C-alpha cells in the first residue's frame, strides 16, 4: 500500500483530547467524529486536510485517554496515516487494532516540514519526502503485529482463535 499526501505537522504530546475532544465522545459514527478531528489543536485541520493526507508529529502522539474514537476520528477525516517520533501505548494498540497505519521515525519527522508532500510505502515502512527526495526507514513492527495487520486487524485474529477453539 502506497500512501501519498500532504504532511500536517504538529509538536510533542498531541493528546487524544485535542485529537477528538471529550464533548464529541458521545458520537460513534466515523464521519461525524471526523468533522471534529484535531479541532482543539488546529481548528482549520478539517478544512485544509484532504483525503489521503498524513499527520506528522513529534514524540508521544496520542497520549492520554483510551478513547478509540481518536483513531476513528482521524480515519473519518480522511487521514491516511501518522508518522511520529513515538506513540503513546494505548493509541498505538488502537491504531493496529483499527487499521490506521502508523510509522515511527525521528529522522523523517525532523526532515519533514508542514505542507511537504510525502509518500509512504506502508508495507516496507519507507517514508519518502517528495520535496527533498530523501528517504527514511520507520522502525519495524514486531512480527506478531505485522501478522495482525496482514490478517485485517484484531477481530480477524479473534475469529481464528474462536475457530481453533471450536475444532479443538
Pick the closer one to other proteins by CB: 132 or 146.
Answer: 146
Least gap, CB of 9 to other proteins (angstroms): 18
Contacts with other proteins by CB under 8 A lie at 13, 15, 17-18, 21-23, 25-28, 39-41, 59-60, 63-69, 71-72, 86, 88-90, 93-94, 97-98, 142, 144-145, 153-155, 157-159, 161-163, 166
Pick the closer one to other proteins by CB: 118 or 138.
Answer: 138
Q: 100-103 long-range contacts, Cβ below 8 Å, gap at least 24? A: 100/71, 100/74, 100/75, 101/1, 101/3, 103/127, 103/138, 103/139
Pick the closer one to other proteins by CB: 60 or 105.
Answer: 60
The x, y and z cell numbers of residue 117, run together, are: 508532500
Give 31's contacts (C-beta < 8 A, 6+ positions apart): 76
Least gap, CB of 131 to other proteins (angstroms): 29
Amino acid at each position: 500500500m502506497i500512501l501519498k499526501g500532504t504532511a500536517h505537522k504538529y509538536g510533542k504530546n498531541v493528546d487524544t483530547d485535542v485529537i477528538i475532544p471529550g464533548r464529541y465522545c458521545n458520537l460513534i459514527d466515523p464521519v461525524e467524529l471526523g468533522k471534529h478531528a484535531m479541532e482543539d489543536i488546529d481548528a482549520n485541520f478539517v478544512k485544509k486536510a484532504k483525503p489521503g493526507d498524513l499527520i506528522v508529529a513529534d514524540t508521544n502522539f496520542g497520549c492520554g485517554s483510551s478513547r478509540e474514537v481518536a483513531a476513528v476520528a482521524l480515519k473519518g477525516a480522511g487521514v491516511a496515516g501518522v508518522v511520529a517520533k513515538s506513540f503513546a501505548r494505548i493509541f498505538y494498540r488502537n491504531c493496529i487494532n483499527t487499521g490506521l497505519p502508523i510509522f515511527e521515525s525521528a529522522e523523517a519527522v525532523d526532515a519533514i516540514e508542514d505542507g511537504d508532500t510525502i509518500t509512504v510505502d506502508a508495507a516496507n515502512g519507507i517514508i519518502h519526502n517528495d520535496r527533498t527526495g530523501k528517504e527514511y526507514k520507520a522502525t519495524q513492527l514486531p512480527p506478531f503485529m505485522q501478522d495482525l495487520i496482514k490478517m485485517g486487524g484484531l477481530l480477524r485474529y479473534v475469529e481464528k482463535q474462536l475457530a481453533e477453539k471450536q475444532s479443538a
